[in-house]
Amino acid sequence: MEILGYLASALIGISLGLIGGGGSILTVPVLVYLFGVEPVLATAYSLFIVGSTSLVGSYTKYKEGMVNLKTAVIFGIPSILAVYATRAFLVPMIPNPVFSLGSFVVSKAMLLMGLFAVLMVFASVSMIRNKKNGSAEPAQEGPQQFNYPMILLEGAVVGMLTGLVGAGGGFLIIPALVLFSKLPMKQAVGTSLLIIAAKSLFGFLGDLSHYTLDWALLGSVTALAIGGIFLGNRLSRSIDGDKLKKAFGWFVLVMGIYILIKELYLNPASGGH
């Protein structure tokens, strides 16, 4: 299982390099089901892995002129504050078990994995749906306009979700940057990677006082994911990203449904069989 885990770790980075997102949605399932990491701890590990990999990816995009720093700061500040507060205060406050109905017990780990699975389903739908990039491209005439209230709200919501489940949330950030910051799609992808990196790494700082970390595992998975993003960037020049994104979306959908079934019906704590 660990060999599969290391292969999947490279896939996380490859996906980020090829399609600008999606890979981080695999990180928690890989850690939980292939490396046997406890789910709450896996969300902390995921923040470091996703943050480090996205930081490297954003630097590559920055050199290509595909990162809008002003937008990253405006969107990133509420995200960073929300994710740090969620990891430092909200996640430790969640009781375990959360609640029970007769023999059905919802543990803290089950709640986070269930929430993660729902997020995976939403992420997969956004990847599967056929969208023409051209239709999402705003007309870039005159100075860039910002919808500040919506940017602040979206940033805070994405930050809280990232804090709870340890995923980057690129599938939420990219549409928000296009709609509320009027960025072209390619620039939105690059800017999204920088925002994901900042909020994930700051969120991880909120975990340091709560967990004992396996730095050997964390370092090896992160290194493979970073190697994967370089490979993904190279492959993106010769592979149709739209077709790959749709295929990856179906894979994420199946994974999300599997996790929901596993947590609700196959988990002994739930009273399932």
pLDDT tens digits along 21-68: 666 778 888 998 899 999 889 888 988 998 998 899 889 889 989 899
Which pTM does this prediction carry? 0.77
The closest of 259, 225, 258, 172 to 47, measured between CA atoms, is: 225
pLDDT of residue 136: 46
Structure tokens at 90: 């909200």
Q: Are 268 and 126 in contact (CB under 8 A)?
A: no
CA distance 87 to 41: 11
pLDDT of residue 135: 44
Render pLDDT for 85-99 as a digit per residue (tens, 0 to 9): 988 888 889 898 888
pLDDT band at residue 151 using 50, 70 and 90 as cut-offs: confident
pLDDT of residue 255: 84
**Is pLDDT above 80 for 166?**
no
pLDDT band at residue 269 using 50, 70 and 90 as cut-offs: low
Render pLDDT for 230-261 as a digit per residue (tens, 0 to 9): 888 788 777 776 777 787 788 888 888 988 88
pLDDT of residue 270: 52
**Is pLDDT above 50 for 181?**
yes
SS3 104: strand
Mean pLDDT of the chain: 82
Please give the sequence-ordered ranges of beta strands (E in DSSP) within 63-221, or none if there are none: 99-101, 104-106
Each domain of the chain, given as residue ranges in start order, spans: 2-270
CA 81 vs CA 38, 43, 159, 225: distances in Å: 25, 17, 7, 26
